Amino acid sequence: MITILVVEDDKNIRKLLMTILTQQGYQTRQAQNGIEALQILGEEQIDLLVLDVMMPKLDGYQTAEKTRETNTQLPIIMVTANGQTIEKRRGFHSGTDDYLVKPIDEEEFLLRVKALLRRTQNDFDTKIRIGKTIIDSDSLSLQIGDLYVELPKKEFQLLYKLISYPNKIFTRQQLLDDIWGIDSVADERTIDVHIKRLREKISENDDFSIITIRGLGYKVVKHEEK
């Protein structure tokens, strides 16, 4: 299920946005400021960020910038009462993908959300390069130097998910829900088996590693270039 984090210090606006999203079948999380938002982003899988500009402790621009330091792919919609071009420019420079001006039009808001999520899904059809390793979703394969390895679909989706969010910890249940589906009869042992197979197939790769986080799940860590 797609999870959207709504970051807004105004309780009524935050509740409104979450209601709109929930009615469309999205799962929502909430934060009152940027500090809370960054904590949630570090602990949970979030698929889209709805971010207010004027907030205490850490404003929207600062939150977007800090988010981009560790996550370059997360879609971000910035929401503000100021529609001036200079403010929009600042928002885009901080890493925002789209910009909405209050008061929010419900239909436009949902169209923007769907468009960003669709674009993110389309990004799945591209290649990811890490050092000498190329992960290609068109052929469900990875190339490690001169070595070419084709992966079963689930193994590839698991690797692609982890490698798209380096250093982010995913629980086994999160990976199961996202790749196998929330109605799947597969259990968490399935993840462990697929991870073991992946590690065997990428053993000659020196660009990244799949790390086990005891009691939680897994993450991918990129190696520094030598």
Query: Hey, what amino acid is at 35?
Result: I
Identify the architecture of domain 3-123 in CATH: 3-Layer(aba) Sandwich (3.40)
Fold of 127-222: Arc Repressor Mutant, subunit A (1.10.10)
List for the chain the helix, strand, coil content (%; round to 5). 40, 25, 35
- A 10 A CB-CB count for 135 gives 22
What is the reported pLDDT for 85? 65
What is the reported pLDDT for 52? 92
More confident residue, 124 or 222: 222
Average pLDDT on 19-34 reads 92
What is the reported pLDDT for 84? 64
Evaluate if residue 15 carries a pLDDT over 80. yes
User: Is 66 within 8 Å of 52 (Cβ atoms)?
Assistant: no
Closest to 31 measured CA to CA, from 175, 75, 42, 88 = 42
DSSP three-state, residue 67: helix
The answer for 140, left when phi > 0, alpha when psi is -120 to 50, beta otherwise, is left
User: Using 50, 70 and 90 to split pLDDT, how confident is the model at 196?
Assistant: very high
Q: Report pLDDT digits (tens) over 36-74.
A: 999 999 888 899 999 999 898 888 999 999 998 877 778
DSSP states of 125-140: TSEEEETTEEEETTTT
What is the reported pLDDT for 137? 81
What is the reported pLDDT for 122? 55
User: Is 6 within 8 Å of 31 (Cβ atoms)?
Assistant: yes
User: Using 50, 70 and 90 to split pLDDT, how confident is the model at 225?
Assistant: low
The structural domains of the chain, with segments of one domain joined by +, span 3-123, 127-222
User: Using 50, 70 and 90 to split pLDDT, how confident is the model at 145?
Assistant: confident
Torsion of CA 9, 11, 14, 15, to 10 degrees: 170
Please determine whether the domains at 3-123 and 127-222 fall in the same fold group of CATH: no
Spatial strand order in the sheet of 27-31: 27-31, 3-7, 48-52, 76-80, 98-101
Across 10-14, 71-75, 134-138, 167-171, the highest mean pLDDT is recorded for 10-14
Q: Report pLDDT digits (tens) over 81-130.
A: 776 666 667 777 788 888 888 888 898 899 889 888 877 665 554 678 88
Spatial strand order in the sheet of 141-144: 127-130, 133-136, 141-144, 147-150
